[in-house]
């Protein structure tokens, strides 16, 4: 009996290791514009760098580190032609349970968020960001259309995220250790909490056709609540 339990435990450990190995790499949504690493967050200047298109990127290492980058549009029901923009970056460690679920724990002081509402202010809001995440499951497969490896993550409520495709292996990431020592010089020049740059190009230069082009806007679902307003706007 004891041997049987040990064998089952070994199988579970081996399966978990195989799943972690499947995760290793940098994954990005369809546009491929958002990718983790120094091209999204400049830790030396303590600055988020706006990509050309919105999207999501996650990176995972074999020894349990992760990094994520988000760039998305938020619907503005009162003025559909003027959505808000948001960028988020964080990194930390992840664990995988025996059932295949993932728990992502960020390094608390390292995360950053930049929000832009160009119709309300000429300045964005730059703050720290810290959000623990849980994914109930994930699936790595070969996408039959693009013929590349694809990662599907399922949130805590089992809702699927936008599929991501392998971009780099090994992953493209910033150092996995806390970045406080890297950003301390930048903090002397600019406190987190203020952003002197103009709002995002995405939110400032948005065109009407962009709101209904799924190839450009991966976050089309966000705007579904504003379709009524868009119809009036376009008529």
Task: For 159-218, write each residue's pLDDT tens digit.
Answer: 999 999 999 999 999 999 999 767 665 554 444 444 444 455 544 433 333 333 334 433
Q: Where are the alpha helices (DSSP H) in the chain?
A: 2-23, 180-189, 201-204, 227-234
State how far the alpha carbon of 94 is from the alpha carbons of 100, 133, 155, 178, 218, in Å.
12, 9, 15, 15, 26
- Which pLDDT belongs to residue 21? 93
pLDDT attached to residue 215: 41
Residue 218 lies in a domain: no
How many domains, in total, are found in the chain? 1
Q: Does 234 map to a domain?
A: no
Summary count for the chain: helices (H), strands (E): 4, 12
- Would you say residue 176 lies in a domain? yes
| Residues of the chain with confidence (pLDDT) below 50 | 2-14, 188-198, 202-235
Domain assignment present for residue 76? The answer is yes
> Is 120 part of a structural domain of the chain?
yes
**Residue burial 135-147, b: 16+ Cβ < 10 Å; e: rest:** bbebebeeeeeee
On whether residue 197 sits in a domain, the answer given is no
134 domain-assigned = yes
Does 94 reside within a domain? yes
Contact 143, 152 (CB under 8 A): no
What count of other Cβ atoms lies within 10 Å of the Cβ of residue 129? 19
Q: What range does the domain containing 132 cover?
A: 28-180
> Which pLDDT belongs to residue 200?
56
């Amino acid at each position: 009996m004891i041997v049987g339990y040990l064998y089952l435990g070994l199988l579970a450990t081996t399966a978990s290791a195989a799943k972690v190995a499947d995760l290793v790499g940098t994954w990005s949504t369809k546009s491929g514009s958002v990718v983790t690493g120094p091209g999204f967050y400049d830790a030396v200047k303590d600055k988020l760098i706006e990509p050309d298109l919105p999207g999501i990127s996650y990176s995972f290492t074999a020894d349990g580190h992760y990094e994520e980058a988000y760039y998305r549009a938020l619907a503005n029901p009162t003025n559909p032609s003027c959505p808000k923009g948001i960028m988020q970056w964080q990194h930390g460690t992840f664990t995988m349970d025996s059932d295949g679920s993932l728990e992502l724990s960020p390094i608390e002081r390292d995360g950053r968020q930049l929000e832009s509402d160009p119709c309300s202010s000429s300045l964005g809001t730059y703050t720290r960001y810290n959000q623990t995440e849980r994914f109930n499951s994930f699936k790595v497969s070969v996408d039959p259309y693009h013929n590349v490896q694809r990662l599907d993550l399922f949130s805590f409520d089992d809702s699927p995220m936008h599929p991501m495709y392998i971009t780099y292996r090994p992953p493209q990431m910033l150092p996995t250790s806390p970045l406080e020592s890297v950003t301390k010089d930048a903090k002397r020049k600019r406190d987190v909490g203020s952003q002197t740059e103009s709002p995002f190009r995405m939110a400032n230069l948005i065109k009407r056709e962009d709101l209904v082009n799924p190839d450009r806007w991966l976050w089309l679902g966000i705007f579904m609540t504003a379709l009524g307003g868009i119809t009036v706007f376009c008529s």
